[in-house]
């Protein structure tokens, strides 16, 4: 089977996690980039990447890479590509461009326009008509990356971002992205070999992703649409083989998810039912300061309010309460907190053993690990 150059996009801070995932499913010549992992593989690996990678946002297949000296040469090199190898004149397409440090291209819209013109002219000259652009529901998504005088053209195999797993129907005010949640769990090293808890669970993303990891449920199991299904080389038999049900891994431990908000908890339970993991999660509607759960050697991961989209009257007091509860109620476990409220994080009052920079949307966050010892740390 033909090998392709592939790019898996992710969030800043999750590149190493994603690189390990790519190697695990058979990616070759794997190397990490900025918010991306570069690797090589065949059509089967493209399908596997979309279906099995928990920390990938989208999978791109490179179709052309070239240097150019000006806009005219850029247009001619785009027009020279045999576009009928990738889609037909009856399919519609859209172009997404990223431009970095380019003398010739000041913005991504102008870049996209030039590629669109090249494609339209190519089809018109060779087939007498041109395909239409559709920004809402395109059959084919072309990704253009211009860095200085280098251009990489790729075809997006995913379509909608892969964080859209297909199980979330309800969400709270500030839902955690599923890819980020899976990455956060991965960074803790938790694989389902102990209990797991999120005491401020919102719409349940961390607990649901944990339950899927623990039982080896593929992240895209409930997702129906992928852009590669519109490609002219789509192989339904191969896709069926990759998506054949696998035996769930047995999970003998417990996952706890609680939230002070009844509506948040109801959303989390609805989403967990859709993901078929409801029976693996113990839900409770309670304030963290009243949460009575006995844990030993467990992993606690939470994403408390930052005071950005969620209003919190006393953010410092909230973080102080979190620290007190972790220290006095949950000694003997490992806790991880994601927050962009850097000043309030100090009120946790515990010394982090590890600090990782992550982004939650546009917000720069610290992802801090606190090892919770009985008494004083030796």
The answer to whether the beta carbons of residues 131 and 190 sit under 8 Å apart is: no
- pLDDT score at 170: 64
Residue 290's Cβ-count burial label (10 Å; 0-12, 13-18, 19+) is exposed
- pLDDT score at 313: 58
- pLDDT score at 51: 98
The answer to whether the beta carbons of residues 264 and 203 sit under 8 Å apart is: yes
- pLDDT score at 247: 82
Phi and psi, residue 17, nearest 5°: -60, -45
- pLDDT score at 145: 96
Contacting residues for 134 by C-beta, under 8 A, at least 6 apart: 92, 93, 94
Contacting residues for 81 by C-beta, under 8 A, at least 6 apart: 63, 64, 118, 122, 153
- pLDDT score at 378: 46
- pLDDT score at 35: 94
- pLDDT score at 173: 66
The answer to whether the beta carbons of residues 365 and 305 sit under 8 Å apart is: no
378 residues of the chain, pLDDT tens digit each: 899 999 999 999 999 999 999 999 999 999 999 999 999 999 999 999 999 999 999 999 999 999 999 999 999 999 999 999 999 999 999 999 999 999 888 899 999 999 999 999 999 999 999 999 999 999 999 999 999 999 999 999 999 999 999 998 866 666 799 999 999 999 999 999 999 999 999 999 999 999 999 999 999 999 999 999 999 999 999 999 999 988 888 999 999 999 999 999 999 999 999 999 999 999 999 999 999 999 999 999 999 998 865 555 589 999 999 999 999 999 999 999 999 999 999 999 999 999 999 999 899 999 999 999 876 554
**Topology of domain 178-216+251-371, per CATH?**
Rossmann fold (3.40.50)
Contacting residues for 107 by C-beta, under 8 A, at least 6 apart: 99
Nearest to 344 by CA among 310, 293, 299, 295: 310
The answer to whether the beta carbons of residues 162 and 56 sit under 8 Å apart is: yes
Nearest to 372 by CA among 296, 294, 286: 296
Contacting residues for 139 by C-beta, under 8 A, at least 6 apart: 87, 91, 92, 93, 227, 230
Residues of the chain with CATH 3.30.2130.30: 4-156
Residues of the chain with CATH 3.40.50.150: 178-216+251-371
Strand partners, 197: 256, 300
- pLDDT score at 123: 97
- Distance, in Å, from the CA atom of 277 to the CA atom of 222, rounded to the nearest integer, reads 12
Nearest to 144 by CA among 115, 119, 122, 118: 115
Strands (DSSP E) contained in the chain are: 4-9, 28-32, 36-41, 58-67, 93-100, 140-147, 150-156, 196-198, 255-259, 281-285, 299-302, 334-339, 354-360, 363-371
Class of domain 4-156: alpha beta
- Distance, in Å, from the CA atom of 206 to the CA atom of 357, rounded to the nearest integer, reads 18
- Distance, in Å, from the CA atom of 98 to the CA atom of 166, rounded to the nearest integer, reads 27
- pLDDT score at 328: 93
Angle, vertex CA 194, rays to CA 193 and CA 200, nearest 5:
125
Contacting residues for 192 by C-beta, under 8 A, at least 6 apart: 210, 213, 214, 215, 249, 251, 253
């Amino acid at each position: 089977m033909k090998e392709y150059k592939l790019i898996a996009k992710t969030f800043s801070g999750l590149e190493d996690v994603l690189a390990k995932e790519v190697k695990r499913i058979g990616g070759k010549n794997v190397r990490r980039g900025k918010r991306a992992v570069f690797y090589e593989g065949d059509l089967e690996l493209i399908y596997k990447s979309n279906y099995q990678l928990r920390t990938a946002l989208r999978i791109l297949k490179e179709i052309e890479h070239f240097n150019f000296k000006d806009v005219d040469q850029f247009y001619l090199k785009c027009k020279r590509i045999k576009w009928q190898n990738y889609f037909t004149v009856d399919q519609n397409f859209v172009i997404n461009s990223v431009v970095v440090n380019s003398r010739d291209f000041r913005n991504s819209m102008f870049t996209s326009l030039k590629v669109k013109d090249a494609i339209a002219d190519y089809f018109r000259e060779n087939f007498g008509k041109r395909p239409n652009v559709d920004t809402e529901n395109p059959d084919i998504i072309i990704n253009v990356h211009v860095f200085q005088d280098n251009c990489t053209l790729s075809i997006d195999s995913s379509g909608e971002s892969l964080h859209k797993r297909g199980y979330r129907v309800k969400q709270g005010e500030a839902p955690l992205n599923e890819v980020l949640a899976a990455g956060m769990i991965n960074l803790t090293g938790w694989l389902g070999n102990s209990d797991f808890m999120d005491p401020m669970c919102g719409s349940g993303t961390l607990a649901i992703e944990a339950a899927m990891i623990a039982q080896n449920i593929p992240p895209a199991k409930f997702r129906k649409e992928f852009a590669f299904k519109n490609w002219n080389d789509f192989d339904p038999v191969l896709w069926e083989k990759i998506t054949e049900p696998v035996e769930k891994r047995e999970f003998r431990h417990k996952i706890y998810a609680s939230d002070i908000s009844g509506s948040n908890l109801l959303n989390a339970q609805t989403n967990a039912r859709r993901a078929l993991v409801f029976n693996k999660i113990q839900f409770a509607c309670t304030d963290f300061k009243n949460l009575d759960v006995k844990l030993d050697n467990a992993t606690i991961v939470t994403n408390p309010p930052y005071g950005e989209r969620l209003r919190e009257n006393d953010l410092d007091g909230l973080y102080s309460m979190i620290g007190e509860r972790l220290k006095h109620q949950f000694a003997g476990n490992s806790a991880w907190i994601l927050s962009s409220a850097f000043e309030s994080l100090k009120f946790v009052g515990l010394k982090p053993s590890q600090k990782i920079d992550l982004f939650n949307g546009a917000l720069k966050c610290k992802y801090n690990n606190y090892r919770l010892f009985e008494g004083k740390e030796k």
